[in-house]
Homo-oligomer: A and B are copies of this chain.
Amino acid sequence: MKNFVIGIDLGGTKISTALSDLDGDVKSQITIPTDAHEGEIPVLNRIIETVEYVLKTGNLTTDDIRAIGIGSPGPLDAKKGIIITTPNLPFKNFNLVEPIREKFRLPVYLDNDANVAAIGEFMFGAAKGTENMVYFTVSTGVGGGAVLNGKVYRGNTSNALEIGHTTVVSEGPRCGCGNLGCLEAVASGTAIGKRGREAVESKVETSLKKYSTVTSAEVFKEAAAGDDVSKDIVNTALNYLGIGIANAISTFDPEVVIIGGGVSKAGQIVFDKVQEVVNKRCFKAMAEVCRIVPAGLGTDAGVIGAVALAIVESK
């Protein structure tokens, strides 16, 4: 009986691989450095070694394994199993699925880390038991994933839920993607840090000026300590995040919206402000029943998500 799966969380600094049963109970796990600078084939071989390791330490063989799931930064082509390009990994238009499938003679599934996080939350986290959920990750950038009608939704070119690049301010600040007023340009951790540094360089009085380096962490800290400029920056960014989430609720009418990523760690202030905006902007019928909650999976979210990907795709 094939009652186990393997999940691989492929990141720029480390590879984390777990062997799990179909309830998400991890039997064996390993985390090693990616050593991305070594190039495509060495990193591929390191991934394969982690799979062999968890099989061995879990006292299982490939006969016990239903599938392997891999979460990776994108952009990637989930259908073809190709990593197109990504800043911190060596792979360029590299088919990561094929060599691993051939090596272990198992079904292998690849997806971007936002989708994998969404699937993980859907199966084992804060969206367990729902049919329709949207996942926002708010940190350096703003990304997303969704499970709709009980299935992960990827869209036509695997690029669905590029929710960080929806427009919330039509002539707003320039986003890294080139456009104006993207959600990411006004609500990401990067945007909050940038607004903080602009304040430091300006004539306004702000306690941010005591720091040599200002990121979103300092802005949240000084806002909590009562600095008006920091409070204003945080409030503005969270208002836009609220608009982005309100738009997602009006669009998807989900049971739950999950907020993960660094900015969500700033705590209750994030959820209070987002809820306030949603209550103001969404139809009552949807706003009242949709829960807006932090991610339920902790530091192992990536690898548990990859386990979940393997389970849902091999069903």
Contact = CB atoms under 8 A, between A and B. Distances in A.
Copies in the complex: 2
A98 interface: no
A195 interface: no
Contact of A163 (B151, B161, B251, B254): B251
Contacts of A243: 167, 170
B149 A179 contact: no
A239 to B, nearest CB: 7
Interface residues of A, number: 45
A156 B169 contact: no
Given A157-B253, A162-B253, A285-B157, A170 B167 contact: no
A247 interface: yes
Interface string A238-279: 011001001110111111000000000000000000000000
Contact of A131 (B131, B156, B166, B177): B156
A44 interface: no
Contacts of A166: 246-247, 250-251
Interface string A61-82: 0000000000000010000000
B167 A169 contact: no
A155 to B, nearest CB: 3
A101 interface: no
B157 A281 contact: no
B156 A251 contact: no
30 contacts: A75-B285, A132-B155, A132-B156, A148-B153, A149-B151, A155-B253, A155-B286, A156-B253, A156-B255, A156-B286, A157-B289, A158-B253, A159-B283, A159-B286, A160-B251, A160-B252, A160-B253, A161-B251, A162-B253, A162-B283, A163-B251, A165-B281, A166-B247, A166-B251, A167-B246, A167-B281, A169-B170, A170-B243, A177-B283, A248-B251
The 3 closest A-B pairs by CB, nearest first: A155-B253, A160-B253, A166-B247
Given A159-B285, A170-B239, 8 more contacts: A75-B285, A149-B151, A156-B255, A156-B289, A159-B283, A162-B253, A167-B243, A247-B247
